[in-house]
């Protein structure tokens, strides 16, 4: 019952990536390993087998461990929603919205929930890989922080600190973080990792000796940045900055909403050739688009208003009138309809908005949240997908479903297909090569080359490569000695 805590010298330092790689590596060592993050803030989420909602990063880490994701792996999830603050998801279930100050007033009972979840995992597994959040030494928040030092202390764990050299100032990041830790927590140090190095690693050969005189914690090594080894980003904004494919290939434009959620839906397009999937936020960027995708949103009303204010709404409908394929996923699906009515603001800003009018449906929001895993059928292909939304969309006339699903043992249609416009609530739609191929054909992309492996197999192979990568670049002997004794 060991806890290996991955702490960061700051946000986006690579904690999620390193925790995922460590999960895969420890699994290779024959250990029963599971992920844990007490409190996560992300609009990239995943539905567990029993209908709970957790951060997608912990779901990916569970898969790297060879496990089914479960709510105890991320007991507290905060989903930023704009002016309302963030939706609080506790043990997989939505609890309404909270402002930052209100959240911190509730932090002690939230910690008790997280502690109980951690205790259960410690009893069931050999190693719990605990991912921290942001920095563990934010002095104004340390006393109320339940994601970093509290799990470390409660589990009597050991930490690895990962620092991002790409941002510059990597030595101040490491040394400053170490010096700001309370002395008892400094003693729990197991190693230092420098992440995202680009260039000649020989330029960093003296890093160990530089650190040795200032931080009495082993320097484990340098991780070069490798774009081919990125399973996905936890942070929607970071993920939305990443494009896929060759910029010379035909463009599939993904709309980058201010409140974008589940941006990981773009990821499977990275496997294919002959196409360039990229995030856009300006009307001019749609001129060359051969297809347009509106992804999920954590504030549908506000993001629909943003589409109009920026001119993107007009650009999208103009492209659709020329039979350019348009796909809406979750919040994007709702926007393609005739009206959106959120009288109480349960999914963000309140109000009634006219949709883009590309699909014959109306959406009304209610407090009950739909969180479900489904089995999808598309021709001869089947795979798992999930839906997370707070609106009910009803067609205003007879429509054709986009695809077939099995939900809670019952089979039926899901989504809407009207000509070149598709709409669905399902995250994971594009994990099917058949779906990607059909959209590419609809867009006239004759050079599209679907990947020869499934998305699931790609993920499995990727975890193996991540484990091998850290085995080569880091000195993990001390880590293994700790978890095995």
Q: Catalytic site residues? A: 330, 427
Helix axes 56-64 and 15-28, enclosed angle (nearest 10): 20
Cβ-proximal residues to 200 (8 Å cutoff; 6+ apart), any chain: none
Question: Exposed e or buried b for every residue in 216-225, given b needs 16+ CB within 10 A?
Answer: ebbbbbbbee
Give the Cα separation of 151 and 107 in Å (integer).
14
Give the Cα separation of 160 and 181 in Å (integer).
13
Q: Which two tokens stand for residue 448?
A: 């599209």
SS3 call for 33: strand
- Nearest Cα residue to 58 out of 129, 110, 7: 129
Give the Cα separation of 129 and 122 in Å (integer).
10
Q: Which two tokens stand for residue 99?
A: 């402002």
For the chain, how many residues are written? 485
Give burial (CB, 10 Å; 0-12/13-18/19+) of 482. middle
DSSP for 150-168? Answer: HHHHHTT-EEEEEEEGGGS
Give the Cα separation of 97 and 80 in Å (integer).
9
Give the Cα separation of 131 and 478 in Å (integer).
19
Give the Cα separation of 250 and 440 in Å (integer).
10
Give the Cα separation of 38 and 56 in Å (integer).
14
Give the Cα separation of 98 and 201 in Å (integer).
45
Backbone φ, ψ for residue 248 (5° rounding)? -85, -15
Sign of CA dihedral 333, 335, 338, 343: positive
Cβ-proximal residues to 395 (8 Å cutoff; 6+ apart), any chain: 360, 361, 416
Cβ-proximal residues to 412 (8 Å cutoff; 6+ apart), any chain: 401, 404, 405
* Mode of pairing for the β-strands spanning 76-82 and 85-90: antiparallel
User: How far lies 384's CA from each of 47, 400, 404, in Å?
Assistant: 11, 21, 12
């Amino acid at each position: 019952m060991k806890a290996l805590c991955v702490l960061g010298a700051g946000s986006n330092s690579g904690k999620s990536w390193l925790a995922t790689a460590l999960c895969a590596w420890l699994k290779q060592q024959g250990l029963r390993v599971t992920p844990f993050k007490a409190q996560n803030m992300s609009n990239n989420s995943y539905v567990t087998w029993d209908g709970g909602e957790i951060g997608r990063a912990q779901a990916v880490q569970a898969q790297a461990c060879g496990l089914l994701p479960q709510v105890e792996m991320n007991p507290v999830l905060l989903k930023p929603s704009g002016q309302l603050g963030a939706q609080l998801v506790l043990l997989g279930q939505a609890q309404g919205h909270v402002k930052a100050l209100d959240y911190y007033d509730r932090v002690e009972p939230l910690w008790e929930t997280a502690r109980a979840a951690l205790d259960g995992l410690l009893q069931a597994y050999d190693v719990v890989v605990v991912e921290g959040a942001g920095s563990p030494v934010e002095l104004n928040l340390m006393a109320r922080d339940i994601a970093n030092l509290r799990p470390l202390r409660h589990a009597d764990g050991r930490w690895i600190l990962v620092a991002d050299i790409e941002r510059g100032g990597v030595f101040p990041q490491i040394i400053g973080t170490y010096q700001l830790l309370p002395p008892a927590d400094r003693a729990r140090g197991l190693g230092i990792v420098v992440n995202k190095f680009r260039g000649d690693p020989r330029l960093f050969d003296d890093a160990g000796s530089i650190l040795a005189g200032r931080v009495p914690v082993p320097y484990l090594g340098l991780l070069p940045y490798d774009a081919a080894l990125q399973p996905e980003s936890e942070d929607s904004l970071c993920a939305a900055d990443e494009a896929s494919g060759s910029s010379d290939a035909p463009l599939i434009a993904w709309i980058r909403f201010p409140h974008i959620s589940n941006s990981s839906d773009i990821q499977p397009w990275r496997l294919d050739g002959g196409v360039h999937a990229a995030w856009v936020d300006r009307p001019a960027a749609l001129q060359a688009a051969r297809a347009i995708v509106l992804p999920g949103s954590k504030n549908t009303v506000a993001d629909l208003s943003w589409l109009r204010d920026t001119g993107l709404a007009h650009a999208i409908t103009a492209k659709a009138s020329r039979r350019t394929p348009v796909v809406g996923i979750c919040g994007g699906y709702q926007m393609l309809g005739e009206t959106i009515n959120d009288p109480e603001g349960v999914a963000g800003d309140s109000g009634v908005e006219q949709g883009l009018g590309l699909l014959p449906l109306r959406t009304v929001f209610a407090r009950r949240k739909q969180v479900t895993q489904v089995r999808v059928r598309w021709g001869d292909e089947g795979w798992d997908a999930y839906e997370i939304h707070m609106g009910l969309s009803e067609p205003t006339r007879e429509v054709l479903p986009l695809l077939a699903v099995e939900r809670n043992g019952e089979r039926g249609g899901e989504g809407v297909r009207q000509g070149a416009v598709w709409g669905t609530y399902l995250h994971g739609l594009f994990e099917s090569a058949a779906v990607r191929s059909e959209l590419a054909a609809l867009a006239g992309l004759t050079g599209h080359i679907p990947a020869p492996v499934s998305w699931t197999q790609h993920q499995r192979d990727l975890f193996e490569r991540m484990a091998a990568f850290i085995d080569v670049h880091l000195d993990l002997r001390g880590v293994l000695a700790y978890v095995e004794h």
